Amino acid sequence: MTMNTDRNGGGFFSHSRRTATGSSLCSIAHAALASVAMTLFAWRERARQRRALGNLSEWDLHDFGASRCDAVGEASKPFWRP
């Protein structure tokens, strides 16, 4: 029985194919991990900003044209909702 070989004699699954596949899997995993990290960062930052908004005084809210009702409505949203 013979095995399909490439020019380098490495067999059907040569090292270069494993490296290319491993590299692309690594890139996909890296991109997925980066996406998860960015999502977690955005959620944390959104929660921080909403807490800060809820703690503003009437004067501060009036300064940029928001009411207490606006601030409470935004601050009460869960962190995952934009």
Mean pLDDT of 19-47: 91
What residues have CB less than 8 Å from 43, skipping those under 6 apart? 79, 80
CA distances to 28, 32, 34 from 49, rounded to whole Å, are 31, 26, 22
Residue 9 has pLDDT above 60, yes or no: no
End-to-end Cα distance, the chain = 62
Quote the pTM value.
0.65
Place of tokens 């491993």: 22
Residue count of the chain? 82
Residue 18 has pLDDT above 60, yes or no: no
Q: What is the pLDDT of residue 57?
A: 95
Place of tokens 């409505």: 73
